[in-house]
């Protein structure tokens, strides 16, 4: 989401489309770590075909509900969906997760999550960290 503070989706999409045409390769623009269905809905309607909904900061059931709503909308628009379960500590772009808020993904919970949401891919927390190291 931080990217959109600096450049509009329409500008990114135009640039990517120009490269796709110029080089004769297919392209799918991916939204990373978005947190609301409304935001994803607007961007998918503008042409995005891959979206990550990040409800990892919510309790399990609330995360399932959010992700399922995004999956239902996106799949009807031929858009794949990635979700996140578990939280990595660190700083990336405009997101920060402190050590107390970080937790690893439980494999059995991940299985239930995928079955209940129908998500296409799942980002899991297995002990690595996001961001720059200083």
Residue extents of the structural domains in the chain: 29-131
Class of domain 29-131 as given by CATH = alpha beta
Q: Is 32 a catalytic residue?
A: yes
Read off the pLDDT of residues 33-90 as tens digits, 9 standing for 90 and up. 888 999 999 999 988 999 999 999 899 999 999 999 999 999 999 999 999 998 665 4
pTM assigned to the model: 0.79
Question: What is the full DSSP assignment across 46-111?
Answer: TT--EEEE--TTS-HHHHHHHHHHHHHHHHHTT-EEEEEESB--EEETTEEE-TTT-BPPPHHHHH
**Residue with token string 């399990």:** 60
């Amino acid at each position: 989401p931080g990217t959109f503070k600096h450049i509009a989706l329409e500008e990114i999409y135009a640039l990517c489309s120009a490269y796709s045409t110029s080089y004769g390769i297919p392209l799918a623009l991916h939204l990373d770590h978005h947190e609301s269905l409304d935001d994803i809905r607007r961007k998918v309607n503008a042409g995005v075909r891959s979206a990550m909904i990040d409800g990892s900061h919510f309790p399990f059931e609330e995360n399932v509900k959010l992700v399922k709503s995004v999956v239902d909308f996106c799949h009807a628009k031929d858009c794949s969906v990635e979700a996140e379960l578990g939280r990595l500590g660190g700083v990336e772009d405009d997101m920060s997760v402190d050590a107390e808020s970080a937790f690893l993904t439980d494999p059995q919970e991940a299985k239930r999550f995928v079955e209940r949401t129908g998500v296409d891919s799942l980002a899991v927390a297995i002990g690595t960290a996001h961001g720059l190291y200083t």
